[in-house]
Amino acid sequence: MLPVEFTIQGPPVSLQTRNRGRLQAWKAEVRQAAQAVLPNGVQPLANDVTFSVTYYYDTHSPDVDNIIKPIQDALVGLVYLDDDQIQETKSRKKDINGSYRIRNAAPIVVEGFINGVDFLHVRVEQYTNQNDL
Q: How many domains does the chain have?
A: 1
For the segment 32-78, what is each residue's pLDDT rounded down to a tens digit? 999 999 999 999 999 999 999 999 998 877 788 889 999 999 999 99
The answer as to whether 132 is a domain residue is no
Q: Which range of residues forms the domain containing residue 40?
A: 4-126
> What is the pTM assigned to this prediction?
0.90
Distance CA 38, CA 44 (A): 10
Closest C-alpha to 33, from 121, 127, 128:
121
Specify the CATH number for the domain of residue 74.
3.30.1330.70
The answer as to whether 13 is a domain residue is yes
For the segment 121-133, what is each residue's pLDDT rounded down to a tens digit? 999 999 987 666 6
| Partners of 126 in beta bridges | 49
